Amino acid sequence: MAIRLGVLPRLALVAFLVIFILHFLSTSLGPREEFADDDPNWSERLGLDHYADWEAGVADRLGDGMDKVRDSLGVIKGGLGWGVQGTRLGSLYELILTSNPSPGPAYFDERTSLDRLRLSSTRVLGHSSGNAPDDADDDDSTTPANRRHILVTGGFGSMGKHVVRDLLLGLNGHKGRTNGFDEWTALDSKSDEEDILITLLDVDDRSSELNHLLQSAPISTPLKVKGTDPRAQAFTSSERTVSSFKRKGKLRIILGDVRDQDLIKSLLLPAPASETQTSGSGFRKVKLKNHVESAVLIPPVSGIIHLAAYSPSACRVNPMDCADVEMSGMEAILNGLERDGESGAIGGRKALVAERPWLIMPRRGEAWAEIPNAYHANASTESMVESHRLLKQFASKHPIHSLLLQLPSSHSIIGDPYTPRFDPIPHIVESALGDLPVQVYTLPDNMHDSFLAIDDAAQSIIQGARMLELSSKKLYLRSFAFVAELEVVGPGIILKSKAGPLAELAKATIAITQSLSPFAEVLEGTHDPTESADRVARMGAMRKTLTKALGFTPTITIRSALKTYILSLLALQSTYLTKQVNIACSTAPSIPVLEEGLLGLSGCNVQLLTVIEGAYFTLGCSAGLEGKHDTPVALVGAIPFKEGVRGVEVLAERGMEGKVDLQFRCPVTKDGKLTGESDIVVWADTTDGGEFSEAKEAGPRTIAEWYTVDFASRDARSFTLTLPPTEGVAEGDEPKRRLTLKDLRGSYKSLIFQAAAPGEARPMQWRINPICCPANDRRKDLWDYFKEDPVITSQVSFPSEDGRTSLSESTLSMQRCKALRAEHDRIVKLRKAVKDPEVTERCEPVRGEASLWEAKDLQICHNDCSAPIVCLASETCKCTRDRCGDPRARGPFPAVAYSERRSFSAEKAEPVTLAQRVASIPWESIILPGARRAFATPLVDLPQVHVVDLPDTIDTHMQQAACYNIDKSPLPFMGDHFLVEALRNQSVGIEEADFVLVPYFQGCYYNYLQENTFKKLADTVGFAETRIAAADHISASKIAIPFTHDFGSCTGWWPRLEDVLGRSPPSPMDQAIAWQVNGDYNTRCVKPDRDVVMPAVSKLSKALASTFKSIDKITPVSKRKHLAFFAGGVRGFGAVARTRIGCGRTSQDAKTAKVLYQQFAEGERYLGTLNQAKFCLLPRGIPAWSTRTFEAIYAGCIPAFVVDRNIFPFQDILDYSLFSVSIPENEAHRVEEYLATFTEAQMFELQAHVLRVREVFLFKEGEEWERKGPLFFSLVSMAMRLYLGYPAVGGCASQLALR
pLDDT digits (tens, 9 = 90+) for 243-274: 999 988 899 999 999 999 999 999 998 865 44
Q: Give yes or no for a contact between 891 and 312, defined as CB atoms under 8 angstroms apart.
A: no
- pLDDT of 60: 40
Compute the distance between CA of residue 546 and CA of residue 560 in angstroms, rounded to an integer.
21
- pLDDT of 963: 76
Q: What is the pLDDT of residues 638-672, one digit of tens each?
A: 877 766 788 899 999 998 778 999 999 998 877 76
Residue 13 pLDDT grade (very low, low, confident, very high; cuts 50, 70, 90): low
H-helix or E-strand spanning residue 533: helix 529-550
**Dihedral in degrees, nearest 10, Cα atoms 665, 666, 668, 673:** 150
- pLDDT of 111: 32
Q: Give yes or no for a contact between 1060 and 1014, defined as CB atoms under 8 angstroms apart.
A: yes
Residue 470 pLDDT grade (very low, low, confident, very high; cuts 50, 70, 90): confident
Q: What is the mean predicted confidence (pLDDT) over 906-913?
A: 80
Q: What is the mean predicted confidence (pLDDT) over 830-855?
A: 78
- pLDDT of 493: 58
Which has the closest alpha carbon to 565: 834, 194, 196? 834
Q: What is the mean predicted confidence (pLDDT) over 1212-1233?
A: 92
Residue 446 pLDDT grade (very low, low, confident, very high; cuts 50, 70, 90): low
Residue 574 pLDDT grade (very low, low, confident, very high; cuts 50, 70, 90): very high
Compute the distance between CA of residue 1273 and CA of residue 1266 in angstroms, rounded to an integer.
13
Compute the distance between CA of residue 1070 and CA of residue 321 in angstroms, rounded to an integer.
53
Residue 1005 pLDDT grade (very low, low, confident, very high; cuts 50, 70, 90): low
Compute the distance between CA of residue 1250 and CA of residue 1173 in angstroms, rounded to an integer.
14
Q: Provide the whole-model pTM.
A: 0.84
Residue 1222 pLDDT grade (very low, low, confident, very high; cuts 50, 70, 90): very high
Compute the distance between CA of residue 107 and CA of residue 392 in angstroms, rounded to an integer.
9
Q: Give yes or no for a contact between 792 and 607, defined as CB atoms under 8 angstroms apart.
A: no
- pLDDT of 610: 86
Q: Which of 527-531, 895-899, 1246-1250 has the lowest mean pLDDT?
A: 527-531
Q: What is the pLDDT of residues 1226-1248, one digit of tens each?
A: 888 889 999 999 999 999 999 99
**Could you give the 3-state DSSP secondary structure of residue 684?**
strand
- pLDDT of 100: 38
Compute the distance between CA of residue 1236 and CA of residue 1122 in angstroms, rounded to an integer.
11
**Could you give the 3-state DSSP secondary structure of residue 522?**
strand
Residue 14 pLDDT grade (very low, low, confident, very high; cuts 50, 70, 90): low
Residue 1093 pLDDT grade (very low, low, confident, very high; cuts 50, 70, 90): very high
- pLDDT of 1143: 87
Q: What is the pLDDT of residues 754-796, one digit of tens each?
A: 887 655 667 888 888 888 887 665 555 555 544 556 666 565 5
The number of CA neighbours under 13 Å toward the Cβ of 190 is 6
Compute the distance between CA of residue 633 and CA of residue 666 in angstroms, rounded to an integer.
8
Residues in the chain, how many? 1299
Please determine, for residue 410, whether its predicted confidence score (pLDDT) is greater than 90. no
- Give the range with max mean pLDDT: 48-52, 114-118, 517-521, 1029-1033: 517-521
Please determine, for residue 67, whether its predicted confidence score (pLDDT) is greater than 50. no
Tell me the pLDDT of the chain averaged across its residues. 77
Please determine, for residue 1167, whether its predicted confidence score (pLDDT) is greater than 70. yes
Residue 842 pLDDT grade (very low, low, confident, very high; cuts 50, 70, 90): low
Please determine, for residue 295, whether its predicted confidence score (pLDDT) is greater than 70. no
Please determine, for residue 957, whether its predicted confidence score (pLDDT) is greater than 80. no
Question: Going by DSSP bridges, is the β-strand pair 718-722/707-713 parallel, antiparallel, or unpaired?
Answer: antiparallel
For a pLDDT cut of 70, what percent of the chain falls above it? 70
Compute φ and ψ for 959, nearest 5 degrees. Answer: -90, -5
Which has the closest alpha carbon to 444: 502, 395, 383? 502
Higher pLDDT, 533 or 358: 358
* Longest Cα separation, the chain: 141
- Give the range with max mean pLDDT: 817-826, 899-908, 1228-1237: 1228-1237
The number of CA neighbours under 13 Å toward the Cβ of 544 is 8
- pLDDT of 1131: 79
Higher pLDDT, 805 or 166: 166
Residue 166 pLDDT grade (very low, low, confident, very high; cuts 50, 70, 90): very high
Please determine, for residue 22, whether its predicted confidence score (pLDDT) is greater than 90. no
Q: Going by C-beta distance under 8 Å and a sequence separation of 6 or more, which residues neighbour residue 766?
A: 608, 609, 610, 619, 718, 719, 720, 721, 739
Higher pLDDT, 1029 or 273: 1029
